Structure 1
Amino acid sequence: MEKMKIKMLYADIKSDIEVIENELEQALNSSSHLLNDASVHLLQAGGKRIRPVFTLLSAKFGDYNIDRMKNIAVPLELIHMGSLVHDDVIDNSDMRRGRETVKAQWNNRVAMYTGNFIFARALQYVTSIENPRAHQILAKTMVELVNGEVIQIEDKFRLDQSLKDYFRRIKRKTALLIESSCELGAVVSGADEKTARHLKRYGYFVGMSFQIVDDILDFTATDKQLGKPAGSDLMNGNVTLPILLMKDDPQLAPYLTKVAVAGLTEEERQNMLALVRNSEAIKEATHISNLYLKKALKEIEALPKHPMKKKLRDIALFMGKRKS
């Protein structure tokens, strides 16, 4: 249902999104049957294609040409996809979007090579873009993305981390790629500097709100809605905003201690979820997400008059209020 709603929001660029989908299929084609199967398995799991959408909508503020824009929109989605494959290995995750992960379907080695292959394909696509600034932005994004993944490993089960640590981590994990999607859409299409700057900031704020909502939903949504067990973040050692906001709650302490040592039984998982769902931490985390959302909307107001302003606003509001 949520996926259908988001697709309705960008229905007017549906044909261009179909171009992106077709290009993704071609990009993942390999002479190796194993890489082919693993990559297609990931592609068939679907996704909202948020990053290409932001790239294309941002490009509308410049000289829009889908044949040119696909060469930056496709690699951005490929980078996202490759990072998901690696994420699942790091988190030892067996399910994503209701399907087995590449790691679960095959093994860790195949998953790592699949992720590397997808990253390499992303780099191939970008070679057709002549703008050196676009290459600089994308290269910096990939470096920071990897830094974020390593920091997430270092922070596993670390309860003494600060909110600043958390915000820095989710910036690298999620917000930076969305920020770059918006900025690159503007830069590659030749939009003016001021517009590119506002779109970049919009992407950052939307990305921060998006990840916080993700972290909230990991506790408040059902297993079916998530396509994986609710509470997976905590069980994988990823200490997210709701937990940081209530980590000193004495009722939560036994679960935090056990999850890091032996894991939780199904009954304990359900009890932990009920505790977090009924806590003030969910309301506080939602408030923080909304603050980022308001900042994103403010950046839209600063953009030049354009039909895409409403579209960017609608998508931001959807992403900040979604339920799965």
Structure 2
Amino acid sequence: MSKNKKIFILIMMVALVGLCDLFIGVGDLKPSDLISLTNLQKTILFKIRLPEMTTALVLGMILGLAGACMQTILDNPLASPFTLGVSSAAGFGASFFLILGFSINFISIGAIGFALIAIAFVYLISRRNFANTSSMILAGIAVKFFFDSLTSLMQYISTDETLSSIVFWLFGSVSNTKPEGILILFIAFIISFIIIIRDSHKLTALRFGEDRARSLGINVKVLKIRTFIIVSVLSSIGVSFAGVIGFIGVIAPHLSRKFLGEDQRYYITASSLIGAFLLVLSSGLSKLVKPGSILPIGIIASLVGLPLIFIFLFGGKHD
């Protein structure tokens, strides 16, 4: 099967799981009801389920894209936005703003702000050898532990009410995103995707070794820095609106590489689509596990991603 056909199949799978997600949950809403919706059904569909599904769709593409790029520039199969502390910093920013008493509308500002600070920290810590993979990873781990500790401190000193809000946000949720937030997420993804696809031939060369990329006239350091900044900013925007959601950015690139290889044009596109599929699937499952209440999507995404990692590691032949 050609790679274009595989991409088309992935698009159809994402569309199908997205359509199914619209009809999952409490409330009497079936596909046949679309012909004549009542006012209550219109509210359920257009005010609740469609925004949640769209948020999961776009956020999944963001996490898949970010994870794929991180694994390419760091040459590390475990790389994701979590690796360099971006998600941890965003989580601390949201927790800090919650403790200060800011409304939910300002939480994303705090998350984005501290995520950008984390990017600056990683750069400052490893600035002498910034494009070196090990330096970037070590700097990112240091920043991650630093902000994780600060987040724990915020939880320790917070009131019971604020603590519950912090914990729920850190688990990840797609139920609080407004239409303007979804539009911001979508625009950020499209801009980042276009820029990265333009560099896809350079990233493909980088994937086969820095020396080979340099022999082709590619400035590896500039390519890594540019991709790192784009992906980090994109990830911080995603985390700021939906909280910390793990595993998607790790497993989606693995599945994409397994089915479509190392050509970054297809690899990045497929990783984005697989990320969207997995997160929308997690959104639907979060509404089925306990009818009448919605479990945080971050928990379900981890439960979905963990078996896939074991299947990837132990389900086939490896060199």
TM normalised by structure 1 equals 0.27
TM normalised by structure 2 equals 0.28
- Which structure is higher in RCO with an 8 Å CA cutoff and minimum separation 6? 2
